[in-house]
Structure 1
Amino acid sequence: MDYLAIVVALVVAIAIHLLSRAKKRRPANLPPGSLGLPVIGQSLGLLRAMRGADGGNRWVQDRIDRYGPVSKLSLFGTPTVLLAGPAANKFLFFSSALSTRQPRSVQRILGENSILDLHGADHRRVRGALLEFLRPDMLKMYVGGIDAEVRRHVEENWAGRGTVTVLPLMKRLTFDIISALLFGLERGAVRDALAGDFAHMMEGMWAIPVNLPFTAFSRSLKASGRARRVLARITREKKAGRCQPDHGKAPRNSDLITCLLGLTDGHGEQLLSDKEIVDNAMVALIAGHDTSSILMTFMVRHLANDDATLAAMVQEHEEIAMNKGDGEALTWEDLSKMKFTWRVAQEILRIVPPIFGNFRRALEDVEFDGYLIPKGWQVFWTANVTHMDASIFHEPAKFDPSRFENQAASAAPPCSFVAFGGGPRICPGIEFSRIETLVTMHHLVRQFRWKLCSKKNTFVRDPMPSPLRGLPIQIERRTSPPP
């Protein structure tokens, strides 16, 4: 008995000693909250909430109500700090101690050489290359091509139909635009297969990165591999074509891959490796396809029940059309006159931002609001925290495009409207998205009237917002269709 008592006392003493040492090693000023279960953490809870009726907004707000604007949790296998509010957004977008670092699931699907995960000189090099393709003087040349794609799409998929489902149509439209302008990929079986792989790829973007059969992550990885092989083949073919003296060189503005292949460093070497081109083409495919299609879908949804806003948009677009010839394509100058339509788009982006949130990674121990964010931890931010803050946007649930009439005079603090992110990493494709949206809405509001097939006005996130059943609507031609 004495021997057993000694053993028990020794075990207790060792346990107390180890706990004491662990407590000393643990930083005293970590944010409040819990990391939850190993690997899983709060990932399942967040994903489940995102598929709920409010797209996960209540889940985030409940954490803020419980722990405050800074709290710790674990998402997708990594310790994470959730930050909320304009000051937190500014810290996230401008701090040199933080770098973008996507969840492991996103890295594995998109590749580790994408602009989303680079920092420092590599980020500046890749971003500069992408911006070369997205310069305003080059964007002006794409308007006519986008207009032609939209006209064809509307005629084939909307005209003469009694009912259409908006989201899949918008996804296919923007995919076709991106395929043509970014990859020079013509319509046909290859483009159709790539569209299918892209849809499967998106399913596992935010998932626990365990590659088990029959999981969304496993399907996404396989789809990513197929899509990557297509883009790698396109890159090789365009690169080989550039080396053929009898074929000449395609204009640098012909598509994104050709543009990136044509960029060289100070020594005449190709600026981006082929693998970097493929990884960033994957990112460009998502950025130019998914966000724009979701924005236009939710614009259609809102306009079905807002006659005043729709009438104002129709008037704006009819005035533009009156000054154009029959069948004449839209131009960059026409887009500059669509100010009200873009304010409507911005208000939709405020209420239903396509990107729920994003991640940064602490490159070193860093402090915010008195709390330590340890090196290697993720930092997570969400757009809705500021977009729906009544102290920033008066009556935030109310649809009011006039909020964006004079943004310079707005009372909203910096880094409050963050639909496109902010700081040095603000989305480089904002103008491209604007062109897609304005051209598409120009043709839809002038040609059709519509009403929703479902009275329920709900959506889920998976991880992008998706309205109920993809938003089926009944459509009819306007009584006096424009020429």
Structure 2
Amino acid sequence: MYAYVGLAAALVLLLLLHKARRWRNPRYDGGRLPPGSMGFPVLGETFQFFSPDASFDIPAFIRHRLARHGPIFKTSLVGHPVVVSADEELNHMVFQTEGQQFQSWYPDSFVEILGRDNVGEQQGAMFRYLKNMVLRYFGPESLKEHAGIIRDVELAVSTSLCTWSTLPAVDLKEAVSTMVFDLAANKLLGLKPSRSKILRKSFFDFVRGLISFPLYLPGTAYYSCMQGRRRAMVVLEQILEERKQSTKLQQAGGGKGEHRGDFLDCLVQEITKEKPVMTERMALDLMFVLLFASFHTTSLALTLAVKLLADHPLILDELTVEHETILNGREAGSEKDGITWKEYKSMAFTSQVINETVRLANIAPVIFRKALKDIQFKGYTIPAGWGVMVCPIAVHLNPDIYPYPLTFNPSRFKDKPDISRGSKHFMAFGGGLRFCVGADFSRLQLTIFLHFLVTKYRWISVGANRVVRSPGLEFPDGYRIQIVQRD
């Protein structure tokens, strides 16, 4: 009897080993799969992907596999087969053939974080509809035509810098996040700082666990992230309902409604139409994603820019000269006027500094898509239904494309073709149809902040101020600075 039990156990073990081997090294009848391992059954290589890396370089998960397999390899993340691409030609093809060969896709755990009706989950006409709605408020033409947006950014920046200069030291990452969030909440939802403070805390909790192993248990970063989202959505639902009621009063002629002209007004108009194109849930998820994207990406880029400038005084001097030249070139009596659109567009070196900052920041280290059909590329097959993980960071830190890639060198963008809309070698704001709709607003905020900072203040870094990737950019100890007004 024991012999039969032992034999059965051995057979089960052999079967499991065979299954595991087939999982790690799958075959595909439609062609040759890229090299790489699928890791453990179900889990894949998820643990390795989310492992923190105390380095500013390409995350270890990607770096080690690039060295072993080349720029295209396969893996499995949170239960999904994925082809990872550090190949600029494949990345470009993925972005440019949306709706034909690829479509936007993210793993289920990430979709839960951003909402199942978020703009990233929308395809075709619905996505274009939502994109155009946002661009009407935050696209380049709107920013150019509405000087009030520039004035609002200037007021937020000047007030914040003045306050910070009275403190012994400030955690710039935390302070900038607060400044940018309150500005975004005001422009999107019409919120005053006192109201946005409650919402801001929920978003900060959300961001801390955004890129973490998707284990929904109390005490985990992912659990904290999801709880932050839940609390934020409760507040957003209240804000939306209040605005709907206010709009009804206005339409009824009660005199109590107030048309603010912000993005929330636009959303309310859309969802209260007789035949609305978007649902209320879509509107809420859009509000959530726009708030998150508005403050998280911009605050990280701003913090890194200030650190890099502090670490490179010659570059800081050149940037300061550009902005002082603009001030000195103004007509008598207008020295204290705000930045004009013409001045903003003339800041060539500032644009180079921003390009170099976001190249190094790689705030979105990976971008997901899904193959709609079998794709043949350089002798490999990407099966239909597989995910594709585009890795901008692997391109941005490729020494064959950017010599000495970890060196902060804004002049590498001097006299180069305009890349503000992205290129094969520059994907800081994505690419193709889904190029970031907030890119122009983010650049505007970065420019105005740097203008006030270098012309009116001096600062020094305080403490270690480490920068790591986990796999996204992080300041684990914060970034503390002392800031003082210039004489």
TM-score by length of 2: 0.86
1:432 aligns with 2:441: yes
Three-state SS of the structure 1 residue aligned to 2:178 is helix
Q: Is the 8 A contact 2:82 2:388 kept in 1?
A: yes
Indicate how the Cα distance of structure 1 residues 203 and 164 shifts in structure 2: closer, same or farther if over 3 A, else same: closer
Q: Does residue 1:152 correspond to 2:159, yes or no?
A: yes
Classify the secondary structure of the residue corresponding to 1:450. strand
Q: 2:481 aligns with which of 468, 473, 480?
A: 473
- Indicate yes or no: 2:127 matched with 1:123: yes
**Contiguous gaps of at least 5 residues in structure 1:** none
Q: Contact 1:55 / 1:459 at 8 angstroms: preserved in 2?
A: no
Equivalent AA in structure 1 for residue 222 of structure 2: F
Q: Determine if the alignment matches structure 1 residue 89 to structure 2 residue 91.
A: yes
Could you say what secondary structure the match of 1:407 adopts? coil
Map of 1:421 onto structure 2? 430
Q: d(CA) in 2 for partners of 1:135 and 1:409?
A: 17
Residues 185-196 of structure 1 correspond to what in structure 2 (within 5 A)?
Answer: 185-188=191-194, 190-196=195-201
Using the TM superposition, give the Cα deviation of residue 380 of structure 1 relative to its aligned residue in structure 2, in angstroms: 0.8
Q: Is the deviation greater in 162-171 or in 362-371?
A: 362-371
Q: 1:100-139 maps to which residues of 2 (within 5 A)?
A: 100-139=104-143
Deviation at 1:263, TM superposition (A): 4.5
1:304 is paired with a residue whose SS is helix
Cα distance in 2 between the residues matched to 1:250 and 1:93: 41
SS at match of 2:38: coil
Aligned alpha-carbon RMSD (Å): 3.1
- Aligned equivalents of 2:39, 2:27: Cα separation in 1: 21
CA distance in structure 2 between the partners assigned to 1:80 and 1:437 by the alignment: 34
Give the aligned residue type for 1:195.
R
Answer yes or no: is 1:63 the counterpart of 2:65: yes
The match for 2:38 is 35
Cα distance between partner residues in 2 of 1:222 and 1:63: 34
Name 2:383's counterpart in structure 1: 374
CA distance in 2, matches of 1:462, 1:200: 17
Checking the alignment, whether the CA contact within 8 Å between 1:148 and 1:329 is kept in structure 2 is no
Number of residue pairs aligned between Structure 1 and Structure 2 = 464
Please give the alpha-carbon distance, in whole angstroms, between the structure 1 residues aligned to 2:120 and 2:207.
16
CA contact (8 A) 1:204 1:220 kept: yes
Alpha-carbon displacement from aligned partner over 1:45-69 (angstroms, at most 9, x marks no partner): 12214x4223653431220110121
Take 2:175 and 2:477, find their aligned partners in 1: how far apart are those partners? 13
Aligned to 1:45: 48
In the alignment, does 2:281 pair up with 1:272?
A: no
User: Which stretch of the first structure deviates more once superposed, 461-470 or 343-352?
Assistant: 461-470
Match of 2:204 among 199, 205, 224: 199
What is the CA-CA distance between 1:72 and the residue it aligns to?
A: 1.0
Give the distance between the partners of 1:24 and 1:155, measured in 2 at CA: 62
Q: Following the alignment from structure 1 to structure 2, what is the Cα–Cα distance between the partners of residues 414 and 440?
A: 26
CA distance in 2, matches of 1:210, 1:364: 31
1:177 aligned partner, one-letter code: L
Specify the code of the residue in structure 2 equivalent to 1:460: V
| Cα distance in structure 2, aligned partners of 1:192 and 1:134 | 23
Deviation per residue, 1:139-176 (Å, 9 max, x gap): 232111111111221222x1222322211111111111
1:358 & 1:435 partners in 2: Cα distance? 24
Q: Where do 1:192-341 residues align within 5 Å?
A: 192-244=197-249, 245=251, 246=253, 247=255, 254-263=261-270, 269-322=275-328, 323=330, 325=334, 328-341=337-350
User: CA separation of 1:260/1:406 partners in 2, compared to 1, >3 Å: closer, same or farther?
Assistant: farther
In structure 2, the partner of 1:176 is 182
The percent identity for this pair of structures is 29
Unpaired stretches in structure 2, ≥5 consecutive residues: none
In 2, the alpha carbon distance for the partners of 1:474 and 1:461 equals 25
Offset at 1:296? 1.0
CA offset at residue 344 of structure 1? 0.5
How much has 1:436 moved relative to structure 2?
A: 0.9
Deviation, 1:461, is: 2.8
